[in-house]
């Protein structure tokens, strides 16, 4: 192995500090493009966060200052396909769609469906599947030089990471069409203006700001935030009657948590709440 090569574990760094899981794509020499192995490890990490009481928020970021993630690494080696019976063509109808469903769409779903709040700390350019990861995150903090690019049209493609689902819900149909049809670079400042980014900060303040936000979330009522995330994510696909019914059920459900009891007790006793995460 050369000095520049990394093992799979080195290409994705996962660390838990102060109840925050930090997931860092560590392939700056490849634009932080993700291989299937890195993609699967991100998914595994997010799934594990769902069941880990020691994790109460997640930060998704990348190494370096140039790229957050430029999508799938098309230059990486792929596993040899399973042998095909005689007469089966090299590619059959449905194979590509299945690869998308089990690949990038599974990754995006793991971010959306994570029970813990996920912050994208955008350290540089997010393009293709990397942009989809940003759209799927609950909160986005961007360095002032970062960009988001719906790059697919430049390659004669359409978004394959849930972009056509997420973009209209985040910024409206016409703005979504503008980004997808033209594929222009969207600066961090413009992304904040149209609602794709929550906060833009100087590059040297990105980690500190992400830490501050993630820590605040990690000190909050974790189950309550998780239930609220589910309701908010479902709201754009549901009618008012359905959402009112689900909201009432979740409100009743959350009152059984220890954090809800602590929140009420701290109010009555006029003291700061000390949430535990369950």
Q: Digits of tens for pLDDT over the chain (278 positions)?
A: 444 566 777 999 999 999 999 999 999 999 999 999 999 999 999 999 999 999 999 999 999 999 999 999 977 656 666 787 887 787 788 888 888 999 999 999 999 999 999 999 999 999 999 999 999 999 999 999 999 999 999 999 999 999 999 999 999 999 999 999 999 999 999 999 999 999 999 999 999 999 999 999 999 999 999 999 999 999 989 999 999 999 999 999 999 999 999 999 999 999 999 999 99
Q: Are 127 and 71 in contact (CB under 8 A)?
A: yes
In this structure, the number of other CB atoms found within 10 A of the CB of residue 44 comes to 13
Give the C-alpha separation, 55 to 44, whole Å.
14
Give the C-alpha separation, 41 to 23, whole Å.
10
Does some domain include residue 88? no
CA-closest candidate to residue 108, choices 177, 43, 29? 43
In this structure, the number of other CB atoms found within 10 A of the CB of residue 65 comes to 15
Residues 109 and 123 both lie in one domain: yes
Does some domain include residue 135? yes
Q: How many domains does the chain have?
A: 2
Residues 137 and 253 both lie in one domain: no
Beta strands in 154-262 (DSSP E): 185-187, 199-201
Give the C-alpha separation, 207 to 110, whole Å.
23
In this structure, the number of other CB atoms found within 10 A of the CB of residue 80 comes to 6
Residues 182 and 236 both lie in one domain: no
pTM reported for the whole predicted model: 0.90
Give the C-alpha separation, 214 to 208, whole Å.
10
Residues 130 and 200 both lie in one domain: yes
Residues 6+ apart with CB under 8 A from 95: none
Q: Which domain holds residue 237?
A: 222-268
């Amino acid at each position: 192995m050369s000095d520049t090569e990394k093992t799979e574990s080195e290409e994705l760094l996962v660390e838990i500090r102060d109840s925050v899981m930090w997931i860092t794509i560590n392939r700056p020499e490849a634009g932080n493009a993700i291989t299937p192995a890195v993609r699967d490890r991100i998914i595994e990490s997010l799934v594990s966060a769902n069941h880990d009481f020691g994790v109460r928020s997640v930060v998704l970021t990348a190494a370096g200052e140039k790229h957050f993630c430029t999508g799938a690494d098309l230059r990486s080696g792929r596993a040899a396909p399973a042998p095909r019976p005689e007469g089966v063509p090299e590619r059959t109808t449905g194979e590509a769609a299945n690869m998308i469903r089990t690949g990038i769409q599974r990754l995006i779903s793991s971010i959306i469906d994570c029970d813990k709040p996920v912050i994208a700390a955008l350290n540089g350019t997010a393009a293709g599947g990397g942009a989809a990861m940003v759209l799927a995150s609950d909160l986005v903090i961007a360095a002032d030089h970062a960009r988001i690019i719906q790059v697919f049209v430049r390659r004669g493609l359409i978004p394959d990471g849930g972009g056509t689902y997420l973009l209209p819900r985040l910024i409206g149909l016409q703005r979504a069409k503008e980004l997808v049809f033209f594929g222009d670079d969207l600066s961090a400042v413009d992304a904040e203006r149209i609602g794709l980014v929550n906060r833009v900060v100087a590059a040297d303040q990105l980690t500190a700001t992400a830490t501050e936000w993630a820590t605040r979330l990690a000190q909050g009522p974790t189950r309550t935030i998780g239930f609220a995330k589910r309701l908010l994510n479902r709201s754009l696909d549901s009618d008012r009657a359905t959402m009112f019914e689900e909201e009432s059920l979740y409100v009743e459900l959350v009152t059984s948590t220890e954090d809800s009891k602590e929140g009420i007790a701290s109010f009555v006793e006029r003291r700061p709440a000390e949430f535990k995460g369950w």
